[in-house]
Amino acid sequence: MKTALVCGAGGFIGGHLVRRLKREGFWVRGVDLKFHDYAESEADDFVVGDLRDPYFVRQVIDRRFDEVYQLAADMGGAGFIFTGENDADIMHNSATINLNVLDAAYKRAIRRIFYSSSACMYPAYNQEDPDNPNCAEDSAYPAQPDSEYGWEKLFSERLYLTYARCRGMEARVARYHNIFGPEGAWTGGREKAPAALCRKVAAAANPGEIEIWGDGLQTRSFLYVDECVEGTLRLMRSDFAGPVNIGSDEMVSINQLAALIADIAGKRIEVKHIPGPQGVRGRNSDNRLIQSSLGWAPSQPLRTGLERTYAWIERELRSNNAR
Ligand code: NAD
């Protein structure tokens, strides 16, 4: 039986990845600081512990897993990574996790390891025009991410690639672009735009009003989590190391995203723009490299994933209110 280790298995994407690996017949060990917030983990072995602790990391990497996925990070949406307050935690915690996990995997003679980087590592100067952002993989340098979160991702990408270059490991590095879907943070401060807007629309009256940070003209693309997992597995099992974008290229403004969610909800929603953290003006996944290297790119329309996500968040909200 093939074995897999998922670091960050108590999180959003890690939870979905564990489920998919179990469907494929893997024996899976999940590791996280906490159990999953919204679902019972399907991992065969779920270990709660801190990947900043090198002793703990050596204990959980106790065999030559066939596949190792490193998704654990101290992260959140704009309200978490752009305020500045969490910068030291983000840099220290995530970098320490990556240093520990990668080195322990190397010492266990694990051959191949996946690392989830982020589109936040792209230079801010290429993302000032909301209609024409440049997020081609080779546009990463000269580096100028707009957040410490992006700098840590860039550092860690390079860390994984050095273990490939100097120590004979095989790294697979993906740059995720705004992943969304059910069973992810939707309240509490770490949620991202799609989940936050679904929650606001679900909580609003009909007709009603919601607040959006900034003028709502900033653009992004959003990838449904099932496609993210599919791209992750394809990359991991390919001969291509990356870094490569895993994202949707269906770019929308935040105002359009809100309008789409209101339409799914069947509500008439007015938008009130208020000051708040926003990040770059424009960002979109450039999918030419993934298409040419893996012969695949995500293709599901944004609306399809949003319908599922909205339905899940509306249910969560209702059951929270009923408590
Ligand atoms: P998430 O926050 O839901 O999952 C990350 C998990 O890591 C959490 O469950 C957290 O408890 C765990 N973790 C944090 N510190 C830890 C520690 N010291 N020891 C053990 N576990 C620890 O985030 P996610 O959305 O599932 O993201 C997964 C990965 O993908 C992250 O590396 C993230 O930076 C990256 N990524 C995500 C997105 C996105 O839109 N969700 C976009 C780009 C990159």
Name all domains of the chain by residue range, CATH numbers in brackets: 3-179+223-246 (3.40.50.720), 181-221+250-285+300-318 (3.90.25.10)
Strand residue runs (E) in the chain: 3-7, 27-32, 45-48, 67-70, 112-118, 170-176, 179-180, 208-213, 219-220, 223-224, 244-246, 252-253, 269-274
**Cα distances (Å, whole numbers) of residue 275 to 93, 146, 189, 215, 263:** 29, 18, 16, 8, 25
**Pocket perturbation via mutation, ligand 1, pick of 12, 117, 224, 302 by most ligand atoms within 8 A of CB:** 12
Q: What are phi and psi of 171, to 5 degrees?
A: -95, 145
d(CA 72, ligand 1 centre) in Å = 4
| Residue of 60, 64, 65 whose CA lies nearest to 101 | 60
pLDDT digits (tens, 9 = 90+) for 218-237: 999 999 999 999 999 999 99
pLDDT at 198: 98
What is this structure's pTM? Answer: 0.97
Which residues, 6 or more positions from 60, have their beta carbon under 8 angstroms from its beta carbon? 5, 29, 31, 47, 49
Q: Which is more confident, 71 or 81?
A: 71
CA nearest ligand 1 atom 8, residue: 11
d(CA 11, ligand 1 centre) in Å = 6
Longest pairwise C-alpha distance within the chain: 60
pLDDT at 25: 98
Ligand 1 neighbour 118 (Cβ under 6 A) = yes
pLDDT at 250: 97
| Residue of 4, 19, 10 whose CA lies nearest to 228 | 19
The one catalytic residue among 69, 115, 122, 149: 149
SS3 category, 45 = strand
Ligand 1 neighbour 97 (Cβ under 6 A) = yes
pLDDT digits (tens, 9 = 90+) for 138-172: 999 999 999 999 999 999 999 999 999 999 999 99
Residue type, 41: S
Pairing of strands 170-176, 252-253: unpaired
**Pocket perturbation via mutation, ligand 1, pick of 59, 86, 176 by most ligand atoms within 8 A of CB:** 176
In angstroms, the CA 198 to CA 309 distance is 8
Active site residue 149: yes
How confident is the model over 184-212, as a mean pLDDT?
Answer: 94
Residue type, 104: A
| Residue of 22, 18, 59, 51 whose CA lies nearest to 36 | 18
pLDDT digits (tens, 9 = 90+) for 12-32: 999 999 999 999 999 999 999
